[in-house]
Amino acid sequence: MQDFTKGPIGKQIILFSLPIIAGNLLMQLYQMIDSAIVGQYLGKEALAAVGASMPVIFAIIAMVIGIGSGASVVISQYFGRGNHEKVRVTSDTLHIVLLVAGAIIGVVGFFFSDDILSFIGLPEELVPMGTEYLQVYLGGIFLLFGFNTLAAMLRGVGDSKTPLYFLVLSSILNIVLDYLFIVVFGWGVASAAWATVISEGFAYFVAIYYINRSKKIVFHINLFKLQFNRKIFNQCVKFGVPTGIQQSFVAFGAVALMSIVNTLGTDSIAGFTAGMRIDALAVIPAMNFSMALTSFVGQNIGAGNIDRVKRGLGMTLLYSSITCVVLTAVIVIFGTDILHLFTSDQAVVEIGQRYLVIVSLFYLLFSTMYIINGMLRGAGAVMFPMISTIIALWGVRVPVAALLTNYTDMSGIDGVAWSIVIGWAIGMIMALWYYYSGKWKGRSSFDVKK
């Protein structure tokens, strides 16, 4: 566990961020491999069906992810104050909430998957494959919630290495199962979802075993003796619901964007899916620097160290900006070669490359916006990131995408890509304004001493 309230700031943020970045890069890498196996062995139609399912999955689980994020802030602030008992009770409460939510979402999603995919305009011929994938994935979503719950709690107390070890385990197992189920056994698109569910479940239970055996971790998990605390739950909701609403609007924005792409045909859906997989890999450093900064800020806000908060933000922005420049160069130069891993269909590759070149040139906008918002969440100022995200998505990105694809001569995917860039720019401007206004100070309004 890491105490962020003292010591060299830059070194702490780097050392804490690297395992998170490595873990999430690995997670995205196995998702890329998953998509590559699906695309190469089951065809571009299967790749398109899986790609269309992912925004739907995100939309369904977004609020739960937000509550988990809010709990991570609560845990980090209690840990910064040294209140280990409240850390333990918070971890129990979060576990109960997310496991129950996962079970409910799994049941509801299983019965309505085909209706959801039809509603977002997925071509009729792709709906059966998308439904197979979505039903299995959502049926096991409680295992994914459980694993992500443990990871969020560990990061809240300053431990970013332990989640990495279990992500490595999960990723390797997922890749092996993907190859075994699809290539060796010749099973269909649902087997890709089964590989994810099985690997996440295995990693989750192994992680529980490790945490319960460790003497260094201040909380333990007994699934049969979890303690629910309503007051702490209300604190998690207070900090988590705004983030959850933000995530929900992001998710439904992605669904709306996918609905626009769905009107462009199978090649565009497959190309956009492949491009998004690479794009998701590229933005991980910025997102994970932001996640590390949230824990750093949470502890220092709990300890009253505002100066360390500001210096931590400046260093994190510097590190992330350097990373963005490198990633943009890699994608512009090698993007086409990477896309060929997903499919040999040249039309699909060309569509994916057009998307990637446009968005990658502006990763710095996304990075700055996301990191400042991460700092604000750690400080307890969770409302503004929610509001700014809603504006950037629904006030800018979605209508601009619809406008550019339907009412201009611009290629459909080009219009979608430019709408994302414009949304990032507006979000970054709003985040910078709020930070320099100083209104985020004093937003941690629960008493961490109690």
The pLDDT of residue 2 is: 60
* Least confident residue range of 201-215, 219-233, 363-377, 431-445: 431-445
pLDDT tier at 254, thresholds 50, 70, 90: confident
Is residue 446 assigned to a domain? no
**Residue 450: inside a domain, yes or no?**
no
Asked if residue 159 has pLDDT above 60, the reply is yes
pLDDT number for residue 421: 94
Confirm whether 119 is domain-assigned: yes
**pLDDT, position 282:** 81
From the number of C-beta atoms within 10 Å of its C-beta (0-12, 13-18, 19+), residue 222 rates as exposed
Q: Is 158 helix (H, G, I), strand (E, B) or coil?
A: coil
Q: What are the tens digits of pLDDT across the range 79-126?
A: 777 777 888 788 788 888 878 888 888 888 788 888 888 887 888 888
Report if residue 443 sits inside a domain.
no
Q: Is residue 113 part of a domain?
A: yes
pLDDT at residue 411, rounded to an integer:
66
Mean pLDDT of the chain: 83
Residues 97, 8: Cα–Cα separation, whole Å: 36
Name the domain count of the chain. 1
User: What mean pLDDT comes out for the span 417-425?
Assistant: 93
- Whether residue 139 lies inside any domain: the answer is yes
In this structure, are residues 298 and 156 in contact, taking their beta carbons and an 8 Å threshold?
Answer: yes
215 occurs within a structural domain: yes
Residue ranges making up the domain that contains 91: 9-437
Residue 218 lies in a domain: yes
DSSP 8-state symbol, 184: I
Range name among 13-17, 56-60, 95-99, 304-308 with the lowest pLDDT average:
56-60
**Beta carbons within 8 Å of 435's beta carbon, 6+ residues apart:** 313, 372, 375, 376
Whole-angstrom Cα distance, residue 356 to residue 361? Answer: 9
Q: Which residue has the higher pLDDT, 249 or 409?
A: 249
Judged by average pLDDT, the poorest of 52-61, 143-152, 176-185 is: 52-61
> For residues 297 and 379, what is the distance between their CA atoms, to the nearest angstrom?
6
Determine the length of the chain.
450
Please state, in angstroms and rounded to a whole number, the distance separating the CA atoms of residues 214 and 450: 26
Name the pLDDT band for 445 (thresholds 50, 70, 90).
Answer: very low
